[in-house]
Amino acid sequence: MTPSVHKNHTLVLVVDDDLVIQMQLRYAMQKEGYQVLVANDGKAALSIYIESNPDLILLDAMMPVMDGFSCCAQLQELNANIPILMITGLNDQNSVDKAFAVGAADYITKPIHWAVLRQRVRRLLQMHWVMKELQSRIEKEQLIAKITQKIRQSLNLEIILSTTVIEVRKLLKTDRVIVYRFLPEGNGYVIVESVAPEWQPMLGKVFEDTYFSDKCTYNYQQGNIYTIDDIDNAGLSQCHIDLLTELQARANLVVPIERENNVWGLLVAYECSRPRKWDKLDIELLIQLADQLVMAIQQAELYQKLEIANQKLQQLASIDSLTEIPNRRSFDEVLEREWNRLEREKAPLSLILCDIDFFKNYNDTYGHPAGDKCLKEVAQVLNQVIQRSGDLAARYGGEEFALILPNTDATGAVYIAETILLQIRSQNLIHESSKISSYLTLSLGVATIIPQATSSLTWLIAKADEALYRAKETGRNRYCIHQ
């Protein structure tokens, strides 16, 4: 079905140096309801085209300064995607061929037959609007495909939303496009925005306006879409006018983003410089993109839940269930990571291995539940002694614990070891079956190295273990340092 010509929005440029013909053409086009601009020669026509972008050009072939053929050729160089009806007094095949060669869509000869002119103008405009609508539909379908692909490729909701508003504003050639996010309280804020440089940004702005909370939320829940072509002639309430004025809007198109029967937010296009008649394709585009954004939101929320679950699983896999400090697996991962980092930085790494003295006797005397409680208390002391975020206290195995101390030299490691012994003694944990004390004690082995390619993690652990063995052999309740 051929669409009707949009007369009220059709701009015709008449280019003719003959004032009589020029006036006749202007009158004929205005009588048809078209808006008309006039130029006296081809050079002036180019300037008017660049400034006004008309829908059709009536172009006389023979003119001073720049003739119609040259003007038509230059319009093609400007990628003028509009119909040009050449008016020529030269009724010969060469002139006709030349007109078509330089880009004319059709021609008419003088003297002008006005009924023929009107018919050809209408036909050219109909073809122009059909092609323009087809091109617009193709571009919008490509945008939807692009956003859909972005959703499939990215789990980052902010990137998807930002891509959407940027591409929509570019395609609709409008001044501002936002995604407005509703908050539980009924107000909301601009979560993403694409705005032309001459207009004030609204990104992150919170709107407390009662228009949204009192009225629009319910209406949007019904799936309503709002179009305002001109805020001055739309019969709006004062609070709505104030809101649109704050957004510097003269016209807007609003589509709700619904999530599980609730309005998650709004996808909004604003025309700030002038009123605008939103066409069917504009509305269809935003509706389809709002549907795509719902998918993106669902996907992002599922991903976020999965990330939280994975973090919990990771935490469970890295934490000792009894003492609630990092386990041997976590110890191995952190020690390797810090070794590699400090090898690059040529900085020291210290390791302390700790062992509860006569722990088997403790379990035999007080029972395993008491032994478990003892392990928890020792772990708590070790965790309190380390002060820096990069330090790690871990359960190494059984009644053994380990401390990883990055960027810590031997002096610093000895200080930590002495502090551990003092803190354990201050706990006054009774251990009647110990062979060296009435209270619980620890033995510690300390080793320090500057990691390098000629050494290894195995070497550091072995030296700390040797120092721990020496502490036990020389009486326990002490620390020894690898020499």
Alpha-carbon Rg for the chain, nearest whole angstrom, is 40
Cβ contact 393:325 at 8 Å = yes
Beta bridge partners of 337: none
> Residue 219: its pLDDT value, please?
55
How sure is the predictor about 473, in pLDDT bands with cuts at 50, 70 and 90? very high
- Domain assignment present for residue 323? The answer is no
Percent of the chain with pLDDT over 70: 93
> Residue 434: its pLDDT value, please?
94
Task: With a cut of 70, say whether residue 295 has pLDDT above it.
Answer: yes
| Whether residue 351 is found in the same domain as residue 414 | yes
> Residue 408: its pLDDT value, please?
95
Higher pLDDT, 153 or 471: 471
Q: From the CB of residue 464, how many other CB atoms can be counted at a distance below 10 Å? A: 27
- Domain assignment present for residue 34? The answer is yes
| Whether residue 173 is found in the same domain as residue 89 | no
| Whether residue 379 is found in the same domain as residue 410 | yes
| Whether residue 476 is found in the same domain as residue 385 | yes
Reported as half-sphere exposure (CB side, CA atoms, 13 A), residue 281 has a value of 17
Among 103-117, 148-162, 341-355, 372-386, which stretch is predicted with the lowest mean pLDDT? Answer: 148-162
Helix axes 280-318, 157-172, angle to 10 degrees: 170
Task: With a cut of 50, say whether residue 6 has pLDDT above it.
Answer: no
Q: Indicate the residue type of 379.
A: A
CATH number at residue 106: 3.40.50.2300
Identify how many contiguous H helices and E strands the chain contains and give both numbers: 15, 16
> Residue 344: its pLDDT value, please?
93
How sure is the predictor about 209, in pLDDT bands with cuts at 50, 70 and 90? low
Domain boundaries, position 255: 154-302
Reported as half-sphere exposure (CB side, CA atoms, 13 A), residue 394 has a value of 23
- Domain assignment present for residue 292? The answer is yes
> What average pLDDT does the segment 46-54 reach?
86
Model pTM? 0.51
Q: Measure Cα distances from 136 to 125, 132, 141 in Å.
A: 16, 6, 9
Looking at residue 322, what DSSP letter applies? T
- Domain assignment present for residue 322? The answer is no
Task: With a cut of 50, say whether residue 378 has pLDDT above it.
Answer: yes
The answer, yes or no, to whether the previous bond of 111 is cis (omega within 30 of 0) is yes
| Whether residue 269 is found in the same domain as residue 338 | no
| Whether residue 106 is found in the same domain as residue 176 | no
| Whether residue 416 is found in the same domain as residue 349 | yes
| Whether residue 163 is found in the same domain as residue 38 | no
- Domain assignment present for residue 142? The answer is no
> Residue 7: its pLDDT value, please?
43
Task: With a cut of 80, say whether residue 3 has pLDDT above it.
Answer: no
Beta bridge partners of 88: 109
Cβ burial of 421 (10 Å; 0-12, 13-18, 19+) is: middle
CATH number at residue 287: 3.30.450.40
Domain boundary among 133, 162, 187: 133
> Residue 11: its pLDDT value, please?
78
Q: In 248-305, where do the E strands start and end?
A: 251-259, 262-271
Q: How many domains does the chain have?
A: 3
> Residue 8: its pLDDT value, please?
45
The enclosing H or E element of 328 equals helix 328-345
Task: With a cut of 90, say whether residue 337 has pLDDT above it.
Answer: yes
> What average pLDDT does the segment 275-304 reach?
84
Task: With a cut of 60, say whether residue 214 has pLDDT above it.
Answer: no
Cβ burial of 93 (10 Å; 0-12, 13-18, 19+) is: exposed
Higher pLDDT, 37 or 91: 37
Cβ burial of 135 (10 Å; 0-12, 13-18, 19+) is: exposed
Domain boundary among 99, 133, 167: 133
Cβ contact 118:85 at 8 Å = no
- Domain assignment present for residue 1? The answer is no
CATH number at residue 356: 3.30.70.270
> Residue 82: its pLDDT value, please?
84
Task: With a cut of 60, say whether residue 187 has pLDDT above it.
Answer: yes
The enclosing H or E element of 207 equals strand 206-207
Q: Indicate the residue type of 218.
A: Y
Higher pLDDT, 303 or 193: 193
Domain boundary among 302, 320, 352: 302
* Catalytic site residue from 133, 246, 399, 473: 399
| Whether residue 103 is found in the same domain as residue 159 | no
Residue 234 CA, distance from chain mean position: 34
Percent of the chain with pLDDT over 90: 37
| Whether residue 291 is found in the same domain as residue 419 | no
Cα torsion 116, 117, 123, 124: sign: positive
**Is 399 an active-site residue?**
yes
Between vectors from CA 402 to CA 399 and to CA 403, what angle results, nearest 5°?
A: 145
Task: With a cut of 90, say whether residue 247 has pLDDT above it.
Answer: no
The enclosing H or E element of 158 equals helix 157-172
> Residue 19: its pLDDT value, please?
87
Beta bridge partners of 258: 263
Q: Give the chain's mean pLDDT.
A: 86
| Whether residue 129 is found in the same domain as residue 161 | no
How sure is the predictor about 366, in pLDDT bands with cuts at 50, 70 and 90? very high
pLDDT digits (tens, 9 = 90+) for 17-28: 888 888 988 888
> Residue 60: its pLDDT value, please?
86
- Domain assignment present for residue 308? The answer is no
What are the backbone dihedrals phi and psi of residue 378, each rounded to the nearest 5 degrees, phi first? Answer: -65, -45
Q: Indicate the residue type of 158.
A: E
Q: How far apart are CA 5 and CA 174, in angstroms?
A: 23
- Domain assignment present for residue 432? The answer is yes
Looking at residue 482, what DSSP letter applies? -
Higher pLDDT, 165 or 222: 165
| Whether residue 275 is found in the same domain as residue 350 | no
> Residue 151: its pLDDT value, please?
66
